Homo-oligomer: A and B are copies of this chain.
Amino acid sequence: MSNPVAATIKEIAERLKVSPSTVSRALNNNTRIGKETRDKIQQLAKELNYEPNARAIFFKKQKSYVIGVVVPFIREEFFSQAISGIEAAAMENNYTILFGQSYDDPDRELTVLNAMKRQGVDGILISLSKKTRFAGQEAEFEKLGKPIVFFDRVPGTDQAHQVYCNVYKGTVQMVNWLMGKGYKRIALINGPGELLASRQRLKGYMDAISARKLKVNMQLVETTDFSKEATTRVVNGLLKMKSPPNAIISFNEYVHMDAVRAAEEKGIRINQELLFASYANLAITGYTAHPPVLSIEQFPYQQGEKAVEMLIRVLDEPHTEAFLQEEIDPQLIVHY
Residues of B within 8 A of A56 (CB): 59
Tell me the complex Cα distance, A119–B65, Å.
9
Interface check A98, CB cutoff 8 A: yes
Residues of B within 8 A of A2 (CB): 145, 147, 318
Interface check A87, CB cutoff 8 A: yes
Tell me the complex Cα distance, A290–B145, Å.
50
Interface residues in A57-78 (C-beta closer than 8 Å to B): 58-59, 62, 64-66, 74-75, 77
Residues of B within 8 A of A1 (CB): 142, 145-147, 318
* Stretch of A34-42, A110-118, A179-187 with 4 or more beta carbons under 8 angstroms from chain B: A110-118
Would you call A116 and B96 a contact (CB within 8 A)? yes
Residues of B within 8 A of A55 (CB): 55, 58-59, 62, 64, 120
Would you call B84 and A96 a contact (CB within 8 A)? no
Min CB distance A4 to B, Å, is: 5
Interface residues in A85-119 (C-beta closer than 8 Å to B): 87, 91, 96-101, 112, 115-119
* With A51-B117, A75-B80 already in contact, 9 other A-B pairs whose C-beta atoms are closer than 8 Å: A1-B142, A55-B59, A74-B74, A75-B84, A83-B99, A91-B100, A96-B116, A284-B284, A289-B289
